[in-house]
């Protein structure tokens, strides 16, 4: 026993571990030193769960890479050897990251629970201002929000294997269109404020730029929306005027105007005459609105709105400290070509059956780049799914009943206030009352009395705001009345009902007369069994990480672990209002402080902002930080942004939105940036150079040896360097943007830091920067971020705050060594696949030693001429194996970019490689004339069960080859629900809402 204790002391085990060892029976066989520590530590370590390959696999994979390589400076025997020959030595970090060591899953959850407990989530917030609580139906909570089959799929670019969530998004679009009365909706935006900013930009783009550059915003629009509009307007030269819509003199320079309906004070206004006056001047009316209110209020289209925007948060999403919530934008049919974001549309497949797909603007940033209408990439698809399902579950009658209940309680509160001598703002209202008081002192007293009762009201200076929602009870109404009265009230709410009745209807002309949601899906799924089965039927149509890897390059579809996901539905995080008093959100303060520290350390920068709620929003925020810094230095003239031709499409789109003039830098044949061209263009634009955007590793999947020289050239000519963090999964713990000399970067938490993609969002795009840029990070008009001078880029101070625990858990469970190991294994997996496949498909770009980074581009361009096969044919054929295809035709046309991530096992990588090798043989059969050039498994892919089971089979290959191209497919067959979809037909016959039963 003394020998064992001595061994434990030598390896510095904890006193608890030593005590455990001493208590062991003397008859127990002694362990070795290493195994003793292993046995005594927590057994739920996360690293081995997160990483796919086992240690023996890693050794074998390195051996395979070594055997297939001919340009290595040394033989590869270990993972460290692979990293040495892949990552340039001069950019490697000299020491480990200064973040905490790994915690086990249970330890991390316990620590996070303690942090969460510091949020006073039991406070009932009636602050409103665009944020409301709701009852998330448990059938949706459990089977969608908490279900990896819904939160792990990617954006539905591959429509044939995305029909389930495409239908869910079409439901959402139908809800938005029916309630607003406008015909063409997007399938979600980031939040209400950014949707409003997109509508402002859309209004500006609809007129000739330069002649109409004034945009009006009513003073009673939610203040956070006004602030975000101002942020977005300044760089593109739009002058924002805030005032009273009733007093606006409409000039010829006005491109548009925004009003809120109901407004931030709760008043419901009639904008019909205002809309008419705007239209006569060629200006656009944008209406911010509320979906629940629209179930009882007339539709914005009825009074002349051209565009409606808002948040679907109260349709089944937790308030979550500000998000995520599905923003929406909907417009008239004639304006559809100017819309931002994505639209789901109906089309038909190769057999003529109806099928859904993304229409019109899909991936437009990659095509139009700086001329794109928006930089939107990730949105809030999962939340739009939930909002649509909320409407499906409740149906039109259920939604109306919820709205009437909310309105009735608001009316009873107004009656009660009048009875105790407190007047409310006159006018028609739905769920919000604005209550002027004699002074700020009186208002503060009411606020404090309410807090003592566990209630938050809206502080409006010398007035109080009260907003009710689905969760409001009559006990809440009584408590609020007592807060105003300063004690017990001399009546009960039952007496108020007896005396005044229950007001459930809004008075004309504001009341809604038109019906909505008459489509069958909204009227047959109101029992939980039917709803559950509907959700499951949709789930079965899609491919997510629950079936196979999703090898999309530039997307990082890694494990979204259950331990990371569990905390987002804890009420301590989910029930907190974003504008709750700071003393009630100390848990969030601690969480965000720790996460900001860790992300700043990982990126090698001084400070971090968690506000941007998507990667593209992070790009924009980073560029604005640079612009704000330059303006503060008196260098407003610096407006040139250098962007490599290889850049992600959102880079030029974001740069244009930030007001920069874009100069494209060429790349060499090996994919690296042309340093000569860069130097010449940097020098030629030295007087006006603001920045350069660069992705590292490059979008071509290699570590550029000259990255420090690139940064040096830009700095020498007066510019700053923005490093796109899309490929950060190949940097963490190995190198960093800050150590290379960059000035600012964004991160995709939904890539590198394990947030799920949710079928197209939500995501988060924090930015990190140097100390000199830190004061210019995005601020917010609340106490949370008052020390930052940049304008806000999202509606709430911390963007989609409730999903930040996911990345906190990821970092804490892996620790400094684990996050580095994750990057190393990501590099290993990519190089292993490249090694296995390069005899069958050439790899377009490699580094000087023949290695790739964490992703690689597979060349299939030659097959178009030899076999009539293109990248999309291979991607569609992979569906017959159950796989989602790699990224198609980006960044190189007609190629496939593969990123396997560190979470995939060797067995899964081998299955994908085997599938691609089978497909390569099928291509060779076409080349050799063995298979028909037109009628073959690739050109006809994917194959549905209906097609294979049909009595009619006229193809020149067998049913077996079509459906079961590999033996292992038989044991886990995924059947695509539709054949290949006709995209052109769908765009030419755009239908983006569900048809009514009578259509």
Predicted confidence band of residue 32 (pLDDT cuts 50, 70, 90) = low
Tell whether the model's pLDDT for residue 786 goes beyond 60: no
| Torsion, Cα of 8, 12, 14, 17 (10° steps) | -20
Predicted confidence band of residue 27 (pLDDT cuts 50, 70, 90) = very low
Q: Rounded to whole angstroms, how far apart are CA atoms 813 and 47? A: 7
Can you say whether residue 352 is alpha, beta or left, with left for phi > 0 and alpha for psi between -120 and 50 degrees?
left
Of 212-221, 256-265, 315-324, 492-501, the poorest mean pLDDT is in 492-501
Q: Which residues of 526-552 are buried (b: 16+ CB within 10 A; e: fewer)?
A: eeeeebeebbeebbebbbbbebbbbbb
Over pLDDT 70: what percentage of the chain?
A: 94
pLDDT at 14: 40
pLDDT at 706: 96
pLDDT at 10: 38
Nearest to 580 by CA among 193, 126, 130, 118: 126
Q: Rounded to whole angstroms, how far apart are CA atoms 480 and 465? A: 11
Question: Which tokens belong to 601?
Answer: 């350390």
Residue 98: exposure state from Cβ atoms within 10 A (0-12, 13-18, ≥19): exposed
Q: Rounded to whole angstroms, how far apart are CA atoms 951 and 936? A: 19
- What are the angstrom distances between the C-alpha of 936 and each of 54, 831, 964, 981? 38, 31, 14, 17
> What mean pLDDT is predicted for residues 92-103?
97
Nearest to 133 by CA among 620, 727, 575: 575
pLDDT at 40: 81
Question: 858: which strand partners?
Answer: 843, 896
Predicted confidence band of residue 367 (pLDDT cuts 50, 70, 90) = low
Residue 864, H or E segment: helix 863-867
> What mean pLDDT is predicted for residues 28-41?
65
Print the SS3 string covering 762-806.
Answer: CCCCCEEECCCCHHHCECCCCHHHCCCCECCCCCCCCCCHHHHHH
> What mean pLDDT is predicted for residues 805-809?
98
pLDDT at 109: 98
> What mean pLDDT is predicted for residues 991-995?
93
| Strand, coil or helix: 626 | helix
Q: pLDDT digits over 724-762, tens only?
A: 999 999 999 999 999 999 999 999 999 999 999 999 999
pLDDT at 374: 77
Of 217-221, 423-427, 882-886, the poorest mean pLDDT is in 423-427
Residue 676: exposure state from Cβ atoms within 10 A (0-12, 13-18, ≥19): exposed
Over pLDDT 90: what percentage of the chain?
A: 87
| Strand, coil or helix: 266 | coil
Q: Rounded to whole angstroms, how far apart are CA atoms 504 and 403? A: 8
pLDDT at 11: 36
Radius of gyration of the chain (CA): 29
- What are the angstrom distances between the C-alpha of 453 and each of 180, 374, 476, 488, 489? 37, 45, 9, 12, 15
Residue 216, H or E segment: strand 214-218
Tell whether the model's pLDDT for residue 884 goes beyond 90: yes
Q: Which residues contact 487 (CB under 8 A, 6 or more apart)?
A: none
Tell whether the model's pLDDT for residue 24 goes beyond 90: no
Of 360-374, 558-572, 628-642, 972-986, the poorest mean pLDDT is in 360-374
pLDDT at 126: 98
Q: pLDDT digits over 817-844, tens only?
A: 999 999 999 999 999 999 999 999 999 9
pLDDT at 826: 98
Q: How many CA atoms lie within 13 A of 636 on its CB side?
A: 5
Q: pLDDT digits over 940-986, tens only?
A: 999 999 999 999 999 999 999 999 999 999 999 999 999 999 988 98
Q: Rounded to whole angstroms, how far apart are CA atoms 397 and 407? A: 15
Question: 327: which strand partners?
Answer: 189, 311
Other CB atoms within 10 Å distance of the CB of residue 28: 10
Predicted confidence band of residue 370 (pLDDT cuts 50, 70, 90) = low
Find the distance separating the first CA and the last CA of the chain, reported in whole Å. 83
Question: Which tokens belong to 193?
Answer: 């404020």
Residue 456, H or E segment: strand 455-456
Tell whether the model's pLDDT for residue 410 goes beyond 50: yes
Q: Which residues of 462-500 are buried (b: 16+ CB within 10 A; e: fewer)?
A: ebbbbbbbbbbeeebbbbbbbbbbeeebebebeebeeee
Predicted confidence band of residue 29 (pLDDT cuts 50, 70, 90) = low
Are 675 and 726 within 8 A, CB to CB?
Answer: no
Tell whether the model's pLDDT for residue 364 goes beyond 60: no
Of 351-365, 542-556, 764-778, the poorest mean pLDDT is in 351-365
In the sheet with 327-331, reading across from the earlier edge strand, the strands are 184-185, 327-331, 307-311, 284-290, 254-261, 214-218, 239-243
Contacts 24+ apart (CB under 8 A), 203-207: 203/255, 203/256, 203/283, 203/284, 203/286, 203/307, 204/236, 204/238, 204/255, 204/256, 205/338, 205/373, 206/255, 206/256, 206/284, 206/335, 206/338, 207/255, 207/282, 207/283
Q: How many CA atoms lie within 13 A of 532 on its CB side?
A: 6
């Amino acid at each position: 026993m003394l020998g064992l204790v001595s061994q434990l002391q030598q390896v510095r085990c904890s006193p608890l571990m030593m005590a455990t060892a001493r208590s062991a029976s003397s008859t127990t066989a002694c362990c070795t030193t290493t195994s003793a520590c292993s046995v005594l530590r927590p057994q739920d370590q996360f690293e081995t769960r997160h990483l796919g390959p086992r240690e023996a696999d890693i050794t074998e994979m390195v051996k395979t890479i070594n055997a297939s390589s001919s340009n290595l400076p040394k033989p590869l025997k270990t993972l460290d050897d692979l990293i040495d020959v892949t990552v340039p030595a001069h950019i490697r970090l000299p020491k480990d990251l200064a973040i905490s060591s790994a915690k086990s899953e249970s330890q991390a959850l316990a620590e996070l629970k303690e942090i969460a407990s510091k949020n006073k989530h039991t406070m009932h917030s009636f602050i409103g201002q665009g944020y409301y609580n709701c009852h998330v139906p448990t059938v949706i909570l459990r089977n969608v929000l908490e279900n990896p089959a819904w939160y792990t799929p990617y954006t539905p670019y591959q429509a044939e294997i995305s029909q389930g969530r495409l239908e869910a998004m079409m439901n959402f679009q139908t809800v938005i269109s029916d309630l607003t009365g406008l015909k063409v909706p997007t399938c979600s935006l980031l939040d209400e404020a950014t949707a409003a900013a997109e509508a402002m930009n859309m209004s500006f783009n609809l007129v000739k730029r330069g002649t109409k550059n004034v945009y009006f915003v009513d003073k009673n629009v939610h203040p956070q929306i006004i602030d975000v509009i101002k942020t977005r307007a300044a760089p593109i030269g739009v002058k924002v005027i805030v005032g009273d819509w009733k007093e606006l003199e409409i000039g010829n320079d006005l491109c548009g105007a925004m009003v809120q309906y109901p407004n931030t004070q709760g008043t419901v206004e009639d904008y019909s005459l205002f809309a008419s006056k705007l239209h006569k001047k060629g200006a656009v009316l944008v209406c911010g609105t509320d979906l629940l209110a629209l179930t009882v209020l007339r539709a914005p289209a009825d009074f002349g709105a051209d565009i409606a925007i808002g948040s679907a948060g109260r349709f089944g999403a937790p308030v979550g400290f500000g998000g995520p919530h599905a923003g929406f934008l909907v417009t008239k049919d004639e304006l559809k070509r100017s819309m931002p974001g994505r639209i789901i549309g109906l089309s038909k497949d190769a057999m003529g059956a109806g099928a859904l797909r993304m229409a019109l603007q899909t991936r437009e940033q990659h095509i139009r780049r700086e001329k794109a209408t928006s930089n939107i990439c990730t949105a809030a698809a999962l939340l739009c799914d939930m909002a649509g399902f909320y409407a499906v579950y409740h149906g039109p009658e259920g939604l109306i009943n919820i709205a009437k209940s909310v309105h009735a309680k608001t009316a009873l509160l107004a009656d009660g206030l009048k009875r105790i001598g407190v007047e409310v703002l006159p006018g028609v209202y739905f769920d919000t009352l604005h209550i002027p008081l004699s002074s700020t002192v009186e208002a503060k007293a009411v606020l404090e009395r309410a807090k003592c009762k566990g209630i938050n009201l809206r502080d409006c200076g010398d007035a109080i705001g009260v907003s009710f929602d689905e969760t409001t009870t009559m006990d809440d109404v009584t408590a609020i009345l007592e807060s105003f009265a300063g004690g017990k009230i001399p009546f009960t709410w039952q007496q108020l009902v007896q005396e005044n009745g229950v007001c459930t209807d809004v008075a004309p002309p504001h009341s809604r007369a038109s019906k909505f949601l008459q489509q069958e899906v909204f009227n047959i799924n109101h029992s939980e069994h039917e709803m559950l089965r509907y959700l499951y039927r949709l789930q079965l149509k899609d491919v997510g990480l629950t079936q196979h890897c999703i090898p999309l390059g530039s997307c990082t579809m890694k494990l979204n672990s259950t331990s990371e996901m569990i905390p987002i539905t804890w009420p301590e995080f989910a029930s907190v209002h974003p504008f709750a008093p700071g003393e009630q959100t100390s848990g969030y303060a601690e969480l965000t402080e720790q996460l900001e520290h860790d992300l700043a350390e990982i990126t090698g920068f001084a400070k971090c902002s968690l506000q941007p709620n998507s990667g593209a929003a992070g790009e924009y925020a980073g560029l604005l930080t640079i612009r704000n810094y330059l303006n503060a230095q008196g260098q407003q003239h610096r407006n040139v942004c250098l962007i490599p031709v290889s850049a992600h499409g959102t880079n030029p789109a974001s740069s244009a939105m930030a007001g920069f003039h874009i100069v494209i830098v060429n790349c060499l044949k090996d994919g690296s940036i042309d340093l000569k061209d860069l130097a010449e263009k940097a020098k030629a634009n030295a007087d006006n150079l603001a920045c350069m955007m660069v992705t590292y590793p490059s979008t071509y999947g290699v570590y550029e040896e000259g990255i420090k020289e690139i940064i040096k050239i830009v700095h020498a000519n007066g510019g700053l360097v923005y490093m796109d963090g899309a490929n950060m999964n190949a940097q963490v713990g190995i190198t960093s943007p800050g150590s290379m000399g960059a000035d600012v970067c964004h991160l995709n938490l939904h890539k590198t830091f394990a947030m799920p993609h949710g079928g197209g969002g939500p995501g988060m795009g924090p930015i990190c920067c140097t100390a000199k840029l830190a004061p210019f990070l995005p601020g917010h008009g609340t106490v949370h971020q008052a020390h930052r001078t940049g304008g806000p880029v999202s509606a709430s101070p911390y963007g989609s705050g409730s999903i930040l625990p996911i990345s906190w858990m990821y970092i804490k469970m892996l620790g400094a060594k684990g996050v580095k190991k994750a990057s190393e294994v990501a590099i290993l997996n990519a190089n292993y696949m490249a090694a296995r496949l390069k005899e069958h498909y050439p790899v377009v770009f490699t580094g000087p030693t023949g290695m790739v980074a964490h992703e690689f581009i597979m060349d299939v361009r030659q097959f178009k001429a030899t076999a009539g096969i293109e990248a999309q044919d291979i991607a569609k054929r992979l569906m017959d194996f159950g796989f989602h295809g790699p990224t198609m035709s980006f960044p190189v046309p007609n190629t496939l970019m593969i990123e396997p991530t560190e979470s995939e096992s060797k067995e899964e990588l081998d299955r994908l490689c085997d599938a691609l090798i089978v497909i390569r043989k099928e291509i060779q059969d076409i080349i050799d004339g063995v298979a028909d050039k037109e009628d073959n498994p690739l050109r006809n892919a994917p194959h549905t069960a209906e097609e294979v089971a049909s009595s009619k089979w006229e193809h020149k290959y067998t049913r077996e080859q079509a459906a079961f191209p590999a033996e292992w497919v038989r044991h886990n067959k995924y059947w695509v629900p539709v054949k290949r979809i006709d995209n052109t037909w769908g765009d030419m016959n755009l239908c983006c809402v569900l048809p009514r039963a009578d259509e």
